[in-house]
Amino acid sequence: MTGPLPWPEVTPPPPGPTLKAAVKAAGGWLRVVPRYLRAAPWRRGLSLAEYLGHGLHRRPPHDAAQYLGAAGVARLWARINHMASRHGLVADKMLFDAMLRGSGIAVAPLRAVFGRPAPERTARILDEKGLRRVLSNPAALPLFGRPAMGRRSRDLLAITGFDPEADCALTLDGQRVPVTRILGHLRLTHRGTGFLFQGLIPQHPALTEAVGPAVATVRVFTLMHRRQCHVLGAVWKIPRAGQVADALWRGNMVAPVDVQTGLAAAAFARPRANAARHATHPDTGAPLEGFALPHWPAVIQLARRGAGLIQVLPLMAWDIALGPGGPVMVEASTAPALHLLQLTGGRGLLSGETGALLTAAVADARRSRRKLWRERRRARRRRFLRRLDLG
């Protein structure tokens, strides 16, 4: 076994201004702290740094009462998606893709599997020879490798070719990764949990021209409430040059998208409310503000189909790629980054129709949990009485 892969670990971009600097820019502690205490945003998980980042110190206390912080968002989705035993339907990407494929939803084709059993007519990588056979197969390239379990888009591989003389895989970001190093890293990190090699989703030419070769997905937020799917909002995750994925923690950009029209607005340079805005892409120079995302009605329909398929998890986020022939489902999240809607929309999650829907969903989930607890208590009581009768 060799060492880890030679590509560098992705270093997140530097954080924003420190809390001390943010407080000083807002007028000092004596001016900021009383306003923060008066609004009491900690009840909604909103820290002082988040309070200042959204510019709530310059707005009425009523506006601050509608915002949720990272802790508040985590409590919200945990309460609505309270069926914790069902989260594995989405966390296991191999199972999730198979479920979507069986329902007729377009997903990336599965080419090979490492570290766990493979479906019929899918290659299973057991050794170096098997991995080399997969990576050197022209019919399978280009490939996209990702862990079968896990979040945050770590350990990704976008393979566009193979050099047989150097025995190296050629990646989308211009690196040459030896086969022995890839296998050593997979054995070290993904044995048992699994690693998937899928066909790299071809991107719509208009998007490639605008943002580069890395696949830029649209994240659509949905809420299943009383057997009806509500689209809470959508954002466009825009990769920067040299990136193989559009995850925001890698330093990529995010832009709000109008749910009705599919038109994007100016992009945030970072997923922070006080970040700079870009009307054009910094690397390609293509316009981002007013960009019409292709296949938009089909994107919304695809998100609705996914939400209807997994109704036991009402609050979901769907990452959808835009291919030349239509949208393709990439993955879903049961812990959606709802703060992006606050960031890009300029208003709190608890305001307007969205706030009313989320509040009603929390109340319904609370009643559902109480009903489940009562049923379990009655079942335990019946089992106890049955044992007494047998005695």
Q: How does pLDDT run across 258-278, given as a tens digit for each residue? A: 999 999 999 998 877 778 899
Are 27 and 245 in contact by the 8 Å Cβ rule? The answer is: no
Residue 84: predicted pLDDT: 64
Q: β-strand 110-114 against 123-125: which pairing, if any?
A: parallel
| Measured distance CA(281)–CA(291) in Å, rounded | 11
Surface-to-core class of residue 253, CB atoms within 10 Å of its CB (0-12 exposed, 13-18 middle, 19+ buried): buried
> What pTM was computed for the model?
0.89
Cis peptide before 14 (omega within 30 of 0): no
Residue 321: predicted pLDDT: 95
Contacts (Cβ under 8 Å, ≥6 apart) of 239? 211, 212, 214, 215, 216, 245, 246, 250, 252
HSE-up of residue 214 (Cα within 13 Å, Cβ side): 24
Query: What's the fold here for domain 204-345?
Result: D-amino Acid Aminotransferase; Chain A, domain 1 (3.30.470)
In whole angstroms, how large is the CA radius of gyration of the chain? Answer: 23
Are 332 and 316 in contact by the 8 Å Cβ rule? The answer is: yes
Are 131 and 177 in contact by the 8 Å Cβ rule? The answer is: no
| Measured distance CA(13)–CA(5) in Å, rounded | 22
Where are the domains positioned within the chain? 110-199, 204-345
Taking only the tens of pLDDT, the chain with its 391 residues reads 344 445 545 566 666 677 788 788 888 888 888 888 888 888 888 888 888 888 888 888 888 889 998 899 999 988 998 876 677 788 889 989 999 998 999 999 999 999 898 888 889 999 999 999 999 999 888 999 999 987 666 788 889 999 999 989 998 888 888 999 999 889 988 888 899 999 999 999 999 999 998 899 999 999 999 889 999 999 999 998 878 888 888 889 999 999 999 999 999 988 777 788 999 999 999 999 999 999 999 999 999 999 999 888 999 999 999 999 999 999 998 888 888 898 888 888 998 899 999 999 999 988 888 888 888 889 888 888 888 776 5
Residue 83: predicted pLDDT: 73
| Measured distance CA(98)–CA(118) in Å, rounded | 11
How many CB atoms are located within 10 Å of the residue 164 CB?
9
Residue 55: predicted pLDDT: 84
User: Which residues does residue 277 pair with via DSSP β-bridges, in sequence order?
Assistant: 268
Residue 266: predicted pLDDT: 93
pLDDT tens for each residue of 69-128: 889 999 998 899 887 667 778 888 998 999 999 899 999 999 999 989 888 888 999 999
How many CB atoms are located within 10 Å of the residue 230 CB?
18
Are 311 and 321 in contact by the 8 Å Cβ rule? The answer is: no
- Describe the strand order of the beta sheet including 195-199 as a list of residue ranges: 123-125, 110-114, 195-199, 143-147, 157-163, 168-171, 176-178
| Measured distance CA(341)–CA(319) in Å, rounded | 15
